[in-house]
Amino acid sequence: MTAIRIAPSLLSADFARLGEEVRAVIAAGADLIHFDVMDNHYVPNLTVGPMVCQAIRPHCQTADGRPVPIDVHLMVQPVDALIPMFAEAGASLITFHPEASLHVDRTLQLIRSLGMKAGLALNPATPLHLIDHVMDRLDLVLLMSVNPGFGGQAFIESSLPKIELLRKRIDASGRDIWLEVDGGVNARNIRRVVAAGADTVVAGSAVFTGGDYRHSIAALRDEAAGGKA
């Protein structure tokens, strides 16, 4: 297994100084910047849009100038109209929920046609078989370990066997598809999440709470290393 990717979620950052927060977590070792988009329709919350994504894009690079991907998670319905806007704003990956698209295959094609990686996000009660006929379109599957809509929720323990089943599905496909887990992941449970098969982990409160981002990300990596096969 490759090194675990850590994607700090800006939902837990200080929005009054977002550019500074992005630079700080990248300096602390973040692999991706997770960008949660909520519409107060598909989920009961309202967050940020393409203009904010565009504003943070210049900050998403390492000290030596290497670009750090923006991992956009669309919790919106419908999704297609926003995808070109986020492509123009500098998104690297776009993940959406199959329940929010009338034509999942077409939406995945749209994302890829604009030069971005494409992913599907599966809620705790969403069955895994929904990915079976679009595996050739997927670069990422995001498995939600909380119900979408709010940061700071507790990890749903029944997500662990679902991660294991999803890992088997991905491995059986023979494709290079990331398995990302989002929701309530912290230093106390990341080892089990990685042992179940995750290779990419979203962490909001676990990174931004406490102020020492480098220590928080290092603690996540240290614990994750104990779960790697």
Active site residues: 36, 182
Angle at alpha carbon of residue 118, lines to 114 and 121, rounded to 5°: 140
pLDDT per position as a tens digit, 89-103: 999 999 999 999 999
Confidence of residue 1 (pLDDT cuts 50, 70, 90): very low
pLDDT per position as a tens digit, 161-209: 999 999 999 999 999 999 999 999 999 999 999 999 999 999 999 999 9
The pTM for the full model equals: 0.95
Instruction: Output the pLDDT for position 2.
Output: 57
How far CA 102 is from CA of 78, 97, 106, in Å, comes to 8, 11, 9
Instruction: Output the pLDDT for position 153.
Output: 86
